[in-house]
């Protein structure tokens, strides 16, 4: 990834990868930098992804929870490709991060780094069973351990385990259909108190027309 090579040369202590479809709470970056100062933390993301609540990842991996001055944080197995880390950790984790541009997506990239569920016999068995399914019986979240081992096994075994932390509640809104956090409207109120404007912002970003009636 060209971004890694560029950021490794920066003098800043921390670096931030950001997709361009996020709205942030005013204190988001400060909150992430504050929590990243904890030595137990390798990566932080501003998004409290809804799949932690609706079971989009099966089974949901167990998490630890820590409290900061701004919010609660929990360690998760994966997230999107928007995150903050130290420049030192970036260099150490770059072999795992380079999974992303190879076409495996952010889910596989993060599981190679966090190693959550990839050593679980139950998760691997479910992945293999799911691999044999078709259509509605196949679930991308359940398949992730299988994909990690088949295509990234050596890379996964030759990198240490990294921690990825997610805020509760969310510090940002990711404008993707499956990624809107539960406090979306609360975050957008920092930009406007007009509900009609907020509604327009959401629908414009999602490129979906709201149903009438």
**Residue-wise pLDDT tens digits, 145-177:** 888 898 899 999 999 999 999 999 999 988 775
| 197: pLDDT strictly greater than 80 | no
The answer to whether position 145 is within a domain reads: yes
What angle do helix axes 105-114 and 140-157 make, rounded to 10 degrees?
50
Residues of the chain with pLDDT > 70: what percent? 76
Residues of the chain with pLDDT > 90: what percent? 35
Mean pLDDT, to the nearest integer, of 172-198? 73
Q: Which structural domain, as residue segments, surrounds residue 47?
A: 2-195
- Judge contact between 128 and 187, C-beta under 8 A: no
pLDDT in tens, 51-72: 777 755 555 667 899 999 999 9
| CA atoms of 116 and 112, how far apart (whole Å) | 8
The answer to whether position 49 is within a domain reads: yes
- Judge contact between 123 and 167, C-beta under 8 A: no
**Domain count of the fold of the chain:** 1
Mean pLDDT, to the nearest integer, of 27-41? 96
The answer to whether position 200 is within a domain reads: no
The answer to whether position 211 is within a domain reads: no
The answer to whether position 67 is within a domain reads: yes
| 105: pLDDT strictly greater than 80 | yes
Mean pLDDT, to the nearest integer, of 189-206? 62
The answer to whether position 66 is within a domain reads: yes
The answer to whether position 37 is within a domain reads: yes
| CA atoms of 14 and 195, how far apart (whole Å) | 36
Helices (H), the chain: 2-8, 28-36, 51-54, 87-97, 105-114, 121-131, 140-157, 184-188, 195-206
The answer to whether position 115 is within a domain reads: yes
| 37: pLDDT strictly greater than 90 | yes
Mean pLDDT, to the nearest integer, of 5-18? 78
Mean of all residue pLDDT scores within the chain: 81
Q: Among 113-117, 127-131, 135-139, 191-195, which stretch is predicted with the lowest mean pLDDT?
A: 135-139
Helix (H) or strand (E) holding 76: strand 72-76
């Amino acid at each position: 990834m060209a971004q890694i090579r560029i950021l490794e040369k920066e003098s800043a202590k921390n670096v931030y990868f950001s997709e361009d479809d996020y709205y942030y709470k005013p204190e988001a970056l400060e909150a992430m930098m504050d929590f990243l100062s904890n030595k137990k933390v390798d990566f932080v993301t501003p998004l409290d992804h809804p799949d932690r609540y609706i079971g989009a990842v099966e089974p949901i991996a167990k998490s630890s929870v820590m409290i900061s001055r701004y919010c609660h944080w929990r360690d998760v197995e994966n997230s999107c490709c928007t995150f903050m880390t130290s420049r030192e950790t970036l260099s150490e984790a770059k072999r795992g991060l380079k999974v992303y541009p190879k076409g495996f997506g952010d889910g596989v990239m993060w599981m190679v780094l966090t190693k959550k569920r990839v050593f679980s016999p139950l998760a691997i068995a479910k992945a293999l069973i799911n691999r044999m399914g078709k259509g509605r019986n196949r679930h991308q979240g359940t398949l992730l351990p299988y994909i990690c081992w088949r295509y990234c096994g050596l890379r996964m075994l030759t990198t240490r385990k990294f921690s990825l932390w997610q805020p509760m509640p969310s510090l940002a809104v990711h404008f993707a259909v499956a990624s809107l956090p539960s406090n979306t409207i609360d975050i957008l109120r920092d930009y406007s108190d007009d509900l009609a404007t907020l509604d327009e912002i959401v629908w414009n970003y999602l490129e979906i027309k709201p149903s009438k009636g």
